[in-house]
Amino acid sequence: MTTVNAVGVSLSGQTGTGSFAGSTSPSFTTPTLGVSTATSINFGGSALSNYITTTSWPPVFTFSTPGDLSVVYTTQTGRYARIGNIVIATFNLTFTPTYTTASSTALITGLTLAPAISTVGYCYTSAPSYPAGTTSPLILIAGGATNIQIAASGSGATAANLTVANITSGAACTIFGSIMYAI
């Protein structure tokens, strides 16, 4: 049996009680909800801005044993943001190193906040060559240290630091990267 409401609409298969509400009575409105906007974050009574520090740092290219290394920079910028105990550091270097007695591992110094544990980050380098079997540059910071080691890894190869054998004296080089770590 089909039930028809007061305005002639079939209510077959419907359950419930009461009358059908037509388009003219009663009037329905869709509520408009406002958008809430956060104006601050509270950390136990202090604003988030009390926990954030952003500053620049002076990235310097060197080797573990700099010898007579001389570096001329075209670009030399570094920035970091500290949010609580998390640091996000970035750097951009374009330089030409000149040396005859430098040796060992390529480094970037000048970072002021040391990580609690050893950390790996990402970088790009235009170094003329990479250690054997490696193709992807990366950066490493040992726990408690502020020197960034420049390395490379590859499929089936152990990560290896870039050295004087990979950074040619007198050739322009670009290295930029970022790393995030806890202090």
What is the fold, at CATH topology level, of the domain defined by 51-182?
Immunoglobulin-like (2.60.40)
Three-class secondary structure of residue 105 per DSSP: strand
List the chain domain ranges. Answer: 51-182
Tell me how many degrees the CA angle 166-69-92 measures, rounded to the nearest 5: 65
Read off the tokens for 27: 């009037």
Separation of alpha carbons 51 and 56, rounded Å: 17
Q: What is the pLDDT of residue 52?
A: 84
Q: What is the pLDDT of residue 156?
A: 83
Cis peptide before 31 (omega within 30 of 0): no
Separation of alpha carbons 65 and 62, rounded Å: 8
DSSP annotation string for 128-167: S--STT--EEEEEE-TT--PEEEEEEETTEEEEE-BTTTS
Q: What is the pLDDT of residue 158?
A: 87
Tell me phi and psi for residue 179, to 5 degrees: -150, 140
Average pLDDT per consecutive 10 residues, the chain (183 residues; last block may be shorter)? 61 56 57 66 63 91 98 97 93 97 96 94 89 92 95 90 95 96 94
pTM of the model: 0.73
